Amino acid sequence: MTRRLLIGLLRVTPFIVLGLIGGFFYYGHDLPDVSLPKTRAEVPSVLFVDSAGEPLAVRGGNFYGTDVTWQMIPKHLTDALIATEDRRFFQHSGWDWRGILRALWTNLWAGGVVEGGSTLTQQLAKNLFLTPHRSIKRKIQEWLLAVLLEVKYDKQEIMTLYLNRVYMGHGLWGISAAAAVYFGKSVSSLDIYESALLVGLLRAPSRYAPSASREAAHARTRQVLQNMVEDGRLEQAEATYLATNRFPPVPTVTSQDHMHYFIDWTYDSVVAHLGAIEEDVIVHTTLDSTLQKHSHLALGRMLEEHGTAQRIGQGAIVVMGLDGAIKAMIGGRNYRDSQFNRVSQAQRQPGSAFKLFVYLAALEAGVGAETNVLDGPVALEGWTPSNIDGTYRGDVNVRQAFSLSLNTPAVRVSEYIGRDKVIDMARRLGIQTQLVAHPSVALGAVNVNLLELTSAYGVVANGGKRFAPWGVALVRSRNGTKVYYRNQQAKTLRTLVAKKHSQGMIDLLRDTVRRGSGQGASLSRGVAGKTGTSQNFRDAWFIGFTTDYIGGIWLGNDDEEAMRNVTGGNRAAQLWRTVMQEAHQGFPPRFFADNESPARISRVPDVSPSMGTRGPIGTLMERLGL
């Protein structure tokens, strides 16, 4: 019986071999060229990274991560991959019959499909060249392509190609995209637990992604760690420790929602520079992630401690370098609840923070820090402004009037030099909103947003030179080709205000923090700034700068409900101080030089209804060219 069976097998073997060869030729005649691995069709997407190159968020369609090299892949990542997906990867030549038989036995024993028999090379062939459609032809082509890949590439190249092309869930393709979004780090920085988690995704990316279920992701990661132990690639004690003491983090893309105020604003800038985005790009931004996170937490703590009692519903923060590079942008207390960016979109009354334009225009007109002006009742066009404390101090000089944020002297100065000069100064420094030449313009009865007002202060901090906020340093395609580069050195900054006048303004702003309404913002370094409080405590502002950074704070309510005794000098100044203390960690203390702008006018004349929008002395001086 046995002899006859062997003879029968020998007789049919040639026909089986010929059949297999014929089948391979039939199914293999239209195989693609394995030397040209293609990527899947994709919707262009944008990966934003911070100033240190760490990922922030992905926008757009599917994101194909930047390709990694073999040298960039940590050994524990390849160990986890081999132990879980293909334990004989370095021994087989594309097919692994042992693995196929083991998978068949395991699946039969389990009564369902719990283990696959495909090698990493077969999976790569399927990912690169074939459709997900299941058929005999596709399976045979997968085997053939696996052999061809093994001939064309060595094992390290195959594994690297696999990791760069594998789908990782939620529109992410490649290990670097997954590392960026799920952990906010590069592939080379992944630790053992993180590597095991990413390898665990491969069986069912959407199910085991930490953004879908942290519990499922952790359970799958424990299994991968145990696979590494069984394959002799990890000690049991270390696997037990990791399984017990580590847990998937909330993914970067959802755990740092506050980043998206900046991402939204920056995305518009990218589109403005590039037009339609037709390929994946990586945007290198100016954002300091540490300062951004600290600013978010600082606003949250302040609102938690004082928000209810003082009826503060919202806040906004922006911090920039003196070159305009945005380092932090917090557009509200919670991005998930409201995507409205109160840094760049909210138009609110700045109160006394607008006095920067009044006194800067006055310095140009010959008024100086020691010029006298009356602090007393004034009535213009039916409008009777008063100081916030309801008292008057009589004769004061400009330094006192500005630092104490007195209102009636500011109105007198504005009327003397002319409201048109104040409005012109505001426009010159970047205020875009419509400004009406009413006497109240001197006290900030206009609408501005935090970004443009802070940028206007930046002109003064920048020695009178043009100041423009920016957030994009470099945009490059996925293959590293430069698409857009901001060449700061090539930009000629136009002078908007004479340096002597900007220095005179810094002197007044500095005095406001040293002994005036802005003392709550003082640091152990030079600080120049101004408070602002709108009518009935609807808005509280502090805008200020050091020799290193400029920052703006706004507090208020979206419905303009009045807060309870919240001013630019208390909560806003205190929050500014908290944020700036973090911003200056590691910076040596530096101070502003004393540099007062000289005065040509000893006293600002009082206002009378017949003066119109310019006092008689001011009009005469203008005609004489003084």
- Count Cβ atoms below 10 Å from residue 50 Cβ, excluding itself: 21
**Is the distance from CB of 419 to CB of 358 less than 8 angstroms?**
no
Q: Token pair 């009354």 is at which residue?
A: 349
Q: Token pair 């802070």 is at which residue?
A: 454
Beta pairing class for 394-397 and 482-485:
unpaired
Q: Where are the alpha helices (DSSP H) in 171-329?
A: 175-178, 192-200, 205-208, 214-230, 236-245, 252-255, 259-274, 289-310
**Is the distance from CB of 117 to CB of 87 less than 8 angstroms?**
no
Beta carbons within 8 Å of 118's beta carbon, 6+ residues apart: 126, 142
In the chain, the amino acid numbered 291 is L
Please indicate, yes or no, if residue 568 is contained in any of the structural domains.
no
- Count Cβ atoms below 10 Å from residue 239 Cβ, excluding itself: 22
The distance from CA 582 to its chain's CA centroid, rounded to whole angstroms, is: 17
Query: How many Cα atoms sit within 13 Å of 30 on the Cβ side?
Result: 5
Q: Following DSSP, what letter does each residue of 85-121 receive, concatenated?
A: H-TTTTTSSS--HHHHHHHHHHHHHHTS-------HH
Please indicate, yes or no, if residue 103 is contained in any of the structural domains.
yes
Please indicate, yes or no, if residue 189 is contained in any of the structural domains.
yes
**Is the distance from CB of 519 to CB of 503 less than 8 angstroms?**
no
Cα gap 401→408, rounded to integer Å: 9
Q: Which domain holds residue 139?
A: 73-255
* Bridge partners for 199 per DSSP: none
* Residue 415 to residues 16, 367, 497, 616, Cα–Cα distance (Å): 103, 13, 21, 10
Please indicate, yes or no, if residue 148 is contained in any of the structural domains.
yes
Please indicate, yes or no, if residue 443 is contained in any of the structural domains.
no
CATH number for the domain harbouring residue 181: 1.10.3810.10
In the chain, the amino acid numbered 551 is G
Backbone angles phi, psi at 580, to 5 degrees: -70, -30
Cα gap 221→218, rounded to integer Å: 5
Cα gap 297→292, rounded to integer Å: 9
Cα gap 306→469, rounded to integer Å: 31
Q: Token pair 């074939």 is at which residue?
A: 130
Buried b (16+ CB within 10 A) or exposed e, 295-308: bbebbbebbeebbe
Beta carbons within 8 Å of 154's beta carbon, 6+ residues apart: none
| pLDDT (0 to 100) of residue 536 | 93
| pLDDT (0 to 100) of residue 39 | 46
Please indicate, yes or no, if residue 224 is contained in any of the structural domains.
yes
| pLDDT (0 to 100) of residue 174 | 87
* Residue 327 to residues 294, 465, 466, Cα–Cα distance (Å): 11, 20, 19
* Residue 246 to residues 143, 238, 239, Cα–Cα distance (Å): 39, 11, 10
Please indicate, yes or no, if residue 160 is contained in any of the structural domains.
yes
Q: Following DSSP, what letter does each residue of 262-298 receive, concatenated?
A: HHHHHHHHHHHHHSS--S-EEEEE---HHHHHHHHHH
- Count Cβ atoms below 10 Å from residue 188 Cβ, excluding itself: 14
Please indicate, yes or no, if residue 243 is contained in any of the structural domains.
yes
Angle (nearest 5°) at CA 49 between 454 and 344: 25
Our count of domains for the chain comes to 1
Q: Which two tokens stand for residue 142?
A: 């997968």
Q: Which residues of the chain have pLDDT under 70?
A: 1-43, 60-65, 93-117, 124-147, 149, 170-171, 250-255, 478-479, 488-492, 608-626
| pLDDT (0 to 100) of residue 612 | 42
Q: Following DSSP, what letter does each residue of 126-137 receive, concatenated?
A: HHHH--S---HH
* Bridge partners for 29 per DSSP: none
Cα gap 181→169, rounded to integer Å: 11
| Model pTM above 0.75 | no
Residue whose C-alpha is closest to residue 95's, from 54, 136, 146, 49: 146
How is the beta sheet containing 55-60 ordered, strand by strand? 55-60, 45-49, 281-285, 472-477, 482-485
Strand stretches in 361-400, DSSP E: 372-375, 394-397
